[in-house]
Amino acid sequence: IYMEEAAKLYQAAAIVWPEDENITPRALDKAIEAYRRVGKDDTFLKKLVNELQSRFPEFYQKKKV
């Protein structure tokens, strides 16, 4: 339960600061990881990953390396 609440808070941070290149991609990344830990369905996770990739491709590329 706590991990899902954390995921929601990270996702909310990404909404509050939608264009902040320091906060938003990290918040989305942490939300994705937290949702994975609680077993959120793949469709939902793919949507968040796609949002991270499309909005912050540089962050996503660095993360993959």
CA distances from 12 to 9, 17, 20, 64, 65 (A): 5, 9, 13, 24, 27
- DSSP state string for 34-65: HHHHTT--HHHHHHHHHHHHHH-HHHHHHHH-
Predicted model pTM: 0.89
At 65, the pLDDT band (50, 70, 90 cuts) reads low
User: pLDDT per residue over 4-56, tens digit each?
Assistant: 999 999 999 999 999 899 999 999 999 999 999 999 999 999 999 999 999 99
pLDDT at 63: 79
